[in-house]
Structure 1
């Protein structure tokens, strides 16, 4: 069995590589992890791993320096470089130093890693006893992906040829995606890949097959021996808590009901996705895990104009009278009823909002105002369909109506711009206080998710980064104009953790507080 060392300074990527691959099937074993080149060099000298998965950019000794060190004392080892798109010059240098291959972090998936591991095994001269198993696994994943992408028209016969026992098994399907605004796409993919081991461990009596389509991880979970419920409310609650605790990120999960009719597999995957997307309708302050089991209502179409005629009429009348309070009250009555009756169809809800906006514009029949509104906010209506949650779409609808009112009243300053301007003024006045994202978003009457998106769109920076920059700018001024101790300044500008202050200070200014205090260090 080949030994593997994982070297990356980000714990989330190490976890993804450790958990997202079935190393035993590749006849490999993880013998250690390191967060920088110096740690890795020590492990390499002690344990002499066969394969090293090596990040390039790391603190202290980076991947290039490690390769140079290892080149001086060559052993029977293969280095596989992990990099981002903007690190290609370093990748070239790594290849010159003897790296076997490289993987781009934003794009790498399980099959890509498995393929390059197989290349490493051939390079090292090991017989590939597991190559057939790996090829079979890749073929199964490919067929599963084709079934999901082709939907009800998919041909499942090729999958049954690969896994004959499926035709007589009980199975259910699952869809999972990361829904956390603090996690970028690259890390989300790593989390999805690493969650595979968690899912397989949660259903130990079943066989799990995974494939990822874009931002969604799908699982086919089956068993030949069904003794009890495969999916129950208790199982869903336990699963939701497990994934939340383990991943420390917001996930949406959807399950379809168990079946023994394998011909329904394409439809089952659709049901799992519908169940997952039903989390769109959750309230942000609802603390239970984001897990849903499919119900037939999730696939129905709803004409909300007909379901809520009184509320729609109230919104029309309120629009004519610039009565924002009645508009808010009526729409929130609609959203509450949608949740109670589980009218879970995101597209139809967005149709309702866009129809209400169009009606509001027609009421005034003012062509110039309409043109001004659409020209200055060309993606105003389409944005409704791209919100993460119903609450986000609801907040955006209110802002569209307020923007319309502003145009009609002759105040053409964008409502979005005013909100962020007021937020920036508030930060500049109160940065010394314990400001939290939740608190500031609440002051704007926006959901946290939508506030974050709006702030980034308007300023080009995240709320936290902007707040930190304001605080560090104030700290620089105090360092240069007072004799206060550094920890006193940290506290004065709003940092409760001195270590965090120093780390943030260096990141923003590229200097330490003591260097800033020395005039020779400041241009």
Structure 2
């Protein structure tokens, strides 16, 4: 959208010169009106919206100083540029105090590229305008698809028909930027729009529409390298959209950039990810992947735990899970290993870990948090080194609890005779094989009773009990509640 300009000048020959000599179209401006003095200009503004007023200082009826004051009172968003001759520069000085943002010497109209000067002044003015709290909120609402009003209008003013553009979203992972470059109001002179919140930042950068796609991509790559240079000392996630040509494309482009930045959580590198290069991975991601807890059966040493944690992290990296399921997987991992150690993780500890995981953006940071809690868990439980046969038996029971397992089956899996194995198992775990197996079965039964509508006898069969009545008796022994009481207690939580 072209920025509309009103020229206010009492000298008709100079008014014509301002209109014709300056290449308004080249810089995205359009002269929509002329006025011979300030009063006429105010009358025009009552009927016609404009973005820029270029006004002479010495005029009859209402001079430029009076006009500047009136515009700033009634239309504070309009950019005012003063026209000045050498002999009325005191007027210019006064108008700058009242709110004019730049001036042009009449003698320089034909000597300099005045259009470029006005464009630079407009750009600075526009940056101030969009970074006002209300304007910024309206733009962010438009980009998120919430409303189509003033936010769209502001963005239409930032572009014109010669530009295509792409959008970058940057998230600062620290409380504050570390480098002076990132604390500036404007990071890149070429930006059409820059919005800077404390932790979230948006840049709209231009490409020339008439250029081939190859040239546009080369130009974008060059600009993104420049952006990465600005961010080189920071910890951040950043994504870049595909190129668009219409303001109505921007909400979708903002979503693309956000999705690309989301992918950066898994990349392990500090760089701006481009949507076209990660789109296929993003669209084929397994957002709801959950590792089976049986994968952690028998893990009873810190070395095994750390190896399993590494394997889980690499799997989550490949699956590109949603944030919710990344957290669920890590919490299941820690909780299962705690149970392997006969250690009940209390609710406060669980909530603390969840909060820390939620506060960490990169997956390697989440892995680091889990590693810390894993070390704490083994420190609290003491150094446990279980016989390999016991570890294998626990793993076997967790994988086969639904079957009719005998002591002989379990001892055979451990490659030990039944008598020796029973004593060894009790010594290593503090529980008999039957007690340990029943605990695994009851743990799974509680999950099924909470998460499914299976009948009691169906739950019994799925956890390895062939007699539903015996299952009910054992359930009450282990939980202190009947099956019905347990179902009701879980329904109450929902």
TM-score tier, shorter chain, comes to 0.3 to 0.5
TM-score normalized by structure 1? 0.42
TM-score normalized by structure 2? 0.44
Structure possessing the higher radius of gyration over alpha carbons: 2
